[in-house]
Amino acid sequence: MSELVAFLLPGLPLLALLLTLLLGHYPGCEAIVRLSERIAGHRRARDADRRRGLPKPPRAAAPAGGLLIALGLAQRPPPLAA
pLDDT for 79 beyond 70: yes
Query: Which pTM does this prediction carry?
Result: 0.37
Selected residue with higher pLDDT from 33 and 74: 33
DSSP 15-61: HHHHHHHHTT--TTHHHHHHHHHHHHHHHHHHHHHHHHSPPPPPPP-
Please give the average per-residue pLDDT across 17-24, as a whole number.
90
**For residue range 21-70, what is the model confidence (pLDDT) as tens digits?**
899 888 888 888 888 888 887 766 666 666 666 777 777 777 778 877 78
Q: Give residue 19's pLDDT band: very low, low, confident or very high (50, 70, 90).
A: very high
Apex CA 35: angle with CA 32 and CA 41, to 5°? 140
Residue 45's pLDDT is what? Answer: 60
